[in-house]
Structure 1
Amino acid sequence: MSAQRRLVALDIDGTLIGYDGGMSAAVHDAVAAVLEAGHHVVLASGRSLVAMTPVAELLGITTGWMVCSNGAVTVRLDPAAERGWELDQVVTFDPAPALRLLRTELPDARFAVEDVGVGFRMNALLPDGELEGEHQVVDFEQLWAREVTRVIIRDPERTPEEFSEMAARIGLVDVTYAVGWTAWMDVAPRGVTKASGLERLREQLGVDPAATVAVGDGRNDVDMLRWAGRGVAMGHADEVVRAAADEVTGTIDEDGAAAVLRSLLPR
């Protein structure tokens, strides 16, 4: 194994953290070992900043970088900073056109926009536990009072397949969108993905493209897996995600991420 320093991008939910919200000791220890070996470990998630910092703390990641909100927010972790982190880049867009269009198609859906480092404004509360931070219920029109990093659309009455069909049919323009495992959609600034945020970091850190590794399980990981020199899909990922990867590891229940991380250690 080469001693070259790598950039290791890790999705959180379904990759490091299981469906019960817990992280196995095998995954925790594997992340720690890769950090100790000197590699750049970058959490890259659709989660907001406030939902990612507890995961970084759990893993003992106090310095380095995180790519949050599917690439719209990049954070530098610094224990000397007042909150333990500093914003490095925040990419925003005007959500009004997408919100108006989507509400026409999904009049009963719940919509939320992110306030970075704080929480979310929403037209109705989402199911318990789905979003971290402060939740402020506002009139629908207030959701576009200012530019935002992303819009979340949640409709418990619909399926992910129905969301995907609707998004393709209405032709969302000037934005990037990803549909999750549930009836959940993230809408971000055009061209912004986990991959775009990671590429910017790769250039800043001076890591060779071939020395990049990414592990993920969801549709919002597809661009990241294609971007990486070694893109690894979790074993429970669907066919779209698997097709974007160079290889497939074990499932979350099999600690698939740990196996990938251990493969980066000196033998």
Structure 2
Amino acid sequence: MIRMIALDMDGTLLGSNGTISARNLAALKSAEAAGIQVVIATGRRHCYAMRQLRGLGLSEENALVSSNGTVTRTLGAGSRLLDRNFLSIETSHWLCEHLAEFRNALVMTFDRVGADGEDARGALVVEHLEELHGSIDRWMTANAPYIERIVPIEKALAGDAPIQMMLCGTVERMRRAEARLLEHPGVSAVGITPPGSKPGAKVALSRTEYPDRDLSIVDILPAGCSKGAALLRLAEDWDIRPEELMAVGDNWNDVSMLEIAGRPVLMDNAPEDLKELAAERGWLLGGHHDADGVAEAIEPLLEAGVSIEPASALGRW
């Protein structure tokens, strides 16, 4: 039986136009009405995710896992904080130094969310603007009210500790950055028990790739943080077993939640190499994010009275 549904946003719940379709929204509300816990799990930080989620009529007590598992808050009810993790100041200073070659692609993120779900200016800190505008101009423009340029970026560490750092650029450059970081014993790949996981690691990496745009994002998280880890904590609090979880995602930063779910669903618009991994692991292949793929994944559960058993082989809805 499925008692919890975890959904990624970009490339999954949201279409290419950045909105949730009427059919997808209806499926979420029907799942809520059936007593299923609906959780949004996104790489976006809380404030940026709420731009698309606010005012949709979803339960305000639903959990929003943001920043790839670093922070969990409720959708409404004062954006109540459920869980939060930080990079230490010491580790953050080391990262700034270690990433000297990539500093022009670096964004530092702080959790400055108020009761209204909005961030304060300085929630995002950068040292260089030109490179970031070149790779993620639309994101930079949308987040301009929250971005503060500080030179050198280390000065931002005089106050609160960050919840994450982010590198953005071409796929080739970001793979080099990821490889550089993973050479260090204090840096591990993201996941619950990722291959090559390093005892005592202080940092976890989560990668998102968009090959058609030649864009990659490497999120640098506190060790042990991932979408999957955050969902396991929520499931334990709600007395839900991992096999009672359905997770739906489309990119590499979703792997940690897909690998723990009893019913993992990978969107049809996922990168081809991730689809190959899904085939190897027996994950279900769902629909496209521009064709109500989330609704296609949820509706069979509701039609079957939420009694669909965990998947055992790759298939298509």
TM-score category (smaller protein): 0.7 to 0.9
- In the alignment, which of 191, 194, 198 is matched to residue 224 of structure 2? 191
The alpha carbon displacement at 1:123 in A equals 1.7
Partner of residue 155, structure 2: 142
The amino acid that maps onto 1:109 is A
Which runs of 4 or more aligned residues in structure 1 lie more than 4 Å from their structure 2 counterparts after TM superposition?
none
How do residues 97-136 of structure 1 correspond to structure 2 at under 5 angstroms? 97-102=94-99, 104-117=100-113, 118=119, 119-125=123-129, 126-127=132-133, 128-130=137-139, 132=143, 134-136=146-148
User: What CA deviation, in whole Å up to 9, does each residue of 1:8-57 have, x standing for no partner?
Assistant: 00000000112221222221211121112111000000111101223332
How has the CA–CA distance of structure 1 residues 108 and 53 changed in structure 2, closer, same or farther, with 3 Å as cutoff? Answer: closer
User: What CA deviation, in whole Å up to 9, does each residue of 1:105-156 have, x standing for no partner?
Assistant: 224324332334123122234434416462221121224334211001223x
Q: TM-score, normalised by structure 1?
A: 0.87
How has the CA–CA distance of structure 1 residues 66 and 108 changed in structure 2, closer, same or farther, with 3 Å as cutoff? Answer: closer
How do residues 92-241 of structure 1 correspond to structure 2 at under 5 angstroms? 92-94=86-88, 95-102=92-99, 104-117=100-113, 118=119, 119-125=123-129, 126-127=132-133, 128-130=137-139, 132=143, 134-139=146-151, 140-145=153-158, 146-155=160-169, 159-170=170-181, 171-172=183-184, 173=187, 174-181=202-209, 182-241=215-274
1:265 equivalent to 2:262? Answer no
Distance across 1 between alignment mates of 2:46 and 2:256: 20
Distance across 2 between alignment mates of 1:110 and 1:52: 20
Distance across 2 between alignment mates of 1:208 and 1:111: 36
How has the CA–CA distance of structure 1 residues 6 and 12 changed in structure 2, closer, same or farther, with 3 Å as cutoff? Answer: same
The alpha carbon displacement at 1:206 in A equals 0.6
Distance across 1 between alignment mates of 2:237 and 2:6: 15
The alpha carbon displacement at 1:194 in A equals 0.4
Distance across 2 between alignment mates of 1:259 and 1:59: 19
Distance across 2 between alignment mates of 1:183 and 1:175: 19
2:303 match: secondary structure: coil
RMSD: 2.0
1:59 match: secondary structure: coil
How has the CA–CA distance of structure 1 residues 111 and 57 changed in structure 2, closer, same or farther, with 3 Å as cutoff? Answer: closer
Deviates more, 1:112-121 or 1:59-68: 112-121
The amino acid that maps onto 2:66 is C
How do residues 54-93 of structure 1 correspond to structure 2 at under 5 angstroms? 54-61=51-58, 62-79=60-77, 84-93=78-87
Percentage of identical aligned residues? 31
1:228 match: secondary structure: coil
User: What CA deviation, in whole Å up to 9, does each residue of 1:177-198 have, x standing for no partner?
Assistant: 1222223221100120001110
1:251 equivalent to 2:288? Answer yes
The amino acid that maps onto 2:57 is G
Distance across 1 between alignment mates of 2:174 and 2:76: 38
The amino acid that maps onto 1:147 is A
The alpha carbon displacement at 1:240 in A equals 4.4
The alpha carbon displacement at 1:5 in A equals 5.8
1:265 match: secondary structure: helix
How has the CA–CA distance of structure 1 residues 215 and 5 changed in structure 2, closer, same or farther, with 3 Å as cutoff? Answer: closer
Deviates more, 1:33-42 or 1:18-27: 18-27
Give the total of aligned pairs: 256
Q: TM-score, normalised by structure 2?
A: 0.74
- Conservation of the 8 A alpha-carbon contact between 1:112 and 1:123: no
- In the alignment, which of 16, 24, 27 is matched to residue 27 of structure 1? 24
